[in-house]
Amino acid sequence: MSEALARLKGVSRVYQKGKERVEVLHELDLMIPNGDFLAIMGPSGSGKTTLLNLLGGLDKPTGGTVTVGGAELSSMSNNQLSKWRSTHVGFVFQFYNLLPVLTAQKNVELPLLLTNFSGKERAERAAIALDIVGLSDRAKHRPRELSGGEEQRVAIARAVVSDPTLLLCDEPTGDLDRETAEEILKLLQILNREHGKTIVMVTHDPQAAEYASRTLHVDKGKLESRAAA
């Protein structure tokens, strides 16, 4: 690992619930080196997903700055953030978010619709992404014809098809059995170690966190470091 890919400086995030002011993150500092595989843990409501959303430009800090790949996200407009996300960030969620009417191939192609790639180029890139996750033979299958593990592999292929700078995973194994979860986590390790993807993964599962290079724990809006097993 080398220089910082992402850096949060003095980041706070406050939500207003009626008359109540809820501070989810408090003056948080974080540096993520290029090539890192970081697991973020913490109790429910601790701000893990908020932190992930800030890194992915889905949310903006109330205070402080968020910089990823030299771009200061906290100063961008919503349109600028949308364009930036389309080429720099891949998202993997707990419940896959695949479109049921589309094949695996077409689901993976979706992020590329925001680019200038031709239909042929989109198909070629999607085929490569499906090959990386070991699903070339399932390209023409729709989500209902796939297992949960296969659906998550399609979701991961969709996340990496645009060759993003950063891969953000929110409880990626939370809906899977242990054996399937381990297969997905090993795939994430391969993407990190062999394909050079920088990964930030939110998880409640200590066994999942063991697959990361390091683990940070969110507690009361702040981070504390603990070595991953």
Which pLDDT tens digit goes with each residue over 181-203? 898 899 899 999 998 899 999 99
**pLDDT value of position 229:** 38
Q: Which amino acid, one-letter code, is at 100? A: P
Q: Output the six-digit token pair for 1.
A: 């690992």
Q: Is residue 188 part of a domain?
A: yes
Q: Is residue 6 part of a domain?
A: no
Q: Which amino acid, one-letter code, is at 22? A: V
Range of the domain at 92: 33-57+85-226
What pLDDT, in 10s, does the model give residues 79-94? Answer: 888 888 888 899 988 7
For residue 19, name the pLDDT band (cuts at 50, 70, 90).
Answer: confident
Rounded Cα distance between 124 and 121, Å, is 5
For residue 227, name the pLDDT band (cuts at 50, 70, 90).
Answer: very low
Answer for the pair 40, 51: CB distance below 8 angstroms, yes or no. yes
What pLDDT, in 10s, does the model give residues 125-150? Answer: 999 999 988 889 989 999 999 998 89
Question: Residue 185 burial (CB < 10 Å; 0-12/13-18/19+)?
Answer: buried
Q: Is residue 7 part of a domain?
A: no
Please give the tally of structural domains in the chain: 1
Q: Which of 10-14, 25-29, 199-203, 224-228 has the lowest mean pLDDT?
A: 224-228
Q: Is residue 42 part of a domain?
A: yes
**pLDDT value of position 226:** 53
Q: Is residue 176 part of a domain?
A: yes
- Sequence-ordered strand ranges (E) for 60-213: 63-68, 71-72, 89-92, 166-170, 198-202
Q: Output the six-digit token pair for 38.
A: 């970081």
pLDDT at 56 over 70: yes
Q: What angle do CA 12, 17, 23 make, to 5 degrees?
A: 20
Walk across the sheet containing 222-226 and list its strands: 89-92, 166-170, 198-202, 37-41, 214-219, 222-226
pLDDT at 34 over 70: yes
Q: Is residue 193 part of a domain?
A: yes
